[in-house]
Amino acid sequence: MALPDWPYEDDTAPLALSSAPVPEYGSGSLADLLPTLAAGLGVPGCTSAIPELAPADRNCVFLIDGLGWEQIRAHPEEAPYLHSLLATSRGGTGRPLTAGFPATTATSLASVGTGLPPGAHGLTGYTTRNPETGELMNQLRWRPWTDPHIWQPYPTVFQLADAAGVHTAQVSSPDFQNTPLTKIALSGGTFRGKLTGEDRMDLAAAQLGAADRSLIYTYYSEVDGKGHRFGMESDAWRGQLMYVDRLVQRLAEQLPPRSALYVTADHGMIDIPFDEESRIDFDEDWELGAGVALLGGEGRARHVYAVPGAQSDVLAVWREVLGEQFWVASRDEAIAAGWFGPAVDERVYGRIGDVVAAAHADVVITASRREPHESAMVGMHGSMTPAEQLVPLLEVRS
């Protein structure tokens, strides 16, 4: 075996990119779910990518923000109902789906709604550079504003289903009704805002039964919210887990005939300790900052945009400094490895960092000055580790 090139010691050699568990685009990722369900409903232009899922006339997807596969497995007492469904994951295989990279809400919701991987729909992270303006854009809050239909030009699966005569509806928080992210990811059919989880479950069940063929989406956010603020050891997070467990059961018990309910998530989570080894502060680190024009992404999945001409220097320094803690790839390496899907659209290329850094260890790259709010979070996500990347696809049929 060849020794690593100087100056790397054996124990500080950069992580081989080939060791990154790339999402299962095309066979078992979040982006494959809705096209599979729509194909089962006979919607033109949709093909089944998850053959384990048997078609149903009435389909409901309940997306629980931040509730990863590993978190359900680790908490049978708080989530007895969800836990009892693990064996029925992914059509009875007992296996999870992969979220996609990065494992973050904006990216994953776009993958779910469009049925496309990030390299096509183009929401490549929490924040990414807009190549048109050179500014960072927050994809979750859509700031600064840019035309959503230019940013993400593909139709959603809901629109395709609606056009094919399938009854479609989204049941979520009224706050999200008119957001750009909802427009580009969840358009098609009717958006229904309901404040409480119970009301969403009841309305989703009613919508499911409102037609012979239906495709209904519903959503709950606060497992993720409490995980970010308090961590997964907190009573607040455990309380949310107990609550969504009851919500799922409530919806399952109201399923009209010939229905399939799929419970999934946009990503999992990892709690990050508050110490200097676990939290590398970009704003205080002159080595990581050298030659960097913009820092995008989030703590566990960074897009690094270099000043012109400094790309290879930034790549070399990030590799050396981060060692085995992160997979550090150039843009072309990340694309070639399939991190964003089998291909990356031309309009999306410049949104990806010159360097992409995905956490392997339980560490984050915070930015205490430019991202004070995000840097203070306990629970984080974004990368390709199982705790973040694996999401359930639990099935209940009536």
Which residue's CB is nearer to Zn ion, number 32 or number 266? 266
Q: What is the smallest separation between the CB atom of 66 and Zn ion, expressed in angstroms?
A: 5
Q: What sign does the CA torsion over 30, 34, 35, 36 have?
A: positive
Q: What is the smallest separation between the CB atom of 121 and Zn ion, expressed in angstroms?
A: 18
Q: Distance between alpha carbon 381 and the CA centroid of its chain, in Å?
A: 9
Q: What is the smallest separation between the CB atom of 228 and Zn ion, expressed in angstroms?
A: 6
* Residue written as token pair 């992270």: 125
Q: What is the smallest separation between the CB atom of 105 and Zn ion, expressed in angstroms?
A: 5
Q: Distance between alpha carbon 347 and the CA centroid of its chain, in Å?
A: 21
**Encoding tokens for residue 13?**
């050699």
Q: Is 179 buried (19+), middle (13-18) or exposed (0-12) by CB count in 10 A? A: middle
Which residue's CB is nearer to Zn ion, number 104 or number 156? 104
SS3 284: helix
Q: What is the smallest separation between the CB atom of 389 and Zn ion, expressed in angstroms?
A: 14
Which residue's CB is nearer to Zn ion, number 224 or number 245? 224
Which residue's CB is nearer to Zn ion, number 53 or number 265? 265
From 239, 44, 31, select the one nearest 160 (Cα to Cα). Answer: 44
Which residue's CB is nearer to Zn ion, number 298 or number 395? 298
- Given strand 292-298, what is the order of strands in its sheet? 292-298, 301-306, 355-359, 326-330
Residue nearest to Zn ion (CB): 224
* Distance from C-alpha of 370 to C-alpha of 364, rounded to nearest angstrom: 15
Quote the crossing angle between the two packed helices 235-252 and 222-230, to the nearest 10°. Answer: 170
Which residue's CB is nearer to Zn ion, number 91 or number 225? 225
Which residue's CB is nearer to Zn ion, number 70 or number 224? 224
371 binds Zn ion (CB under 5 A): no
What is the total count of residues that contact Zn ion (CB under 5 A)? 1
Q: Which of residues 263-292 bind Zn ion (CB under 5 A)?
A: none
Q: What is the smallest separation between the CB atom of 123 and Zn ion, expressed in angstroms?
A: 14
DSSP string, 210-275: TSSSEEEEEEE-HHHHHHHHH-TTSHHHHHHHHHHHHHHHHHHTTPPTTEEEEEE-S---EE--SS
Q: Which of residues 213-232 bind Zn ion (CB under 5 A)?
A: 224
Q: What is the smallest separation between the CB atom of 106 and Zn ion, expressed in angstroms?
A: 10
Q: Which of residues 75-134 bind Zn ion (CB under 5 A)?
A: none
Q: For binding to Zn ion (CB under 5 A), which residues are involved?
A: 224
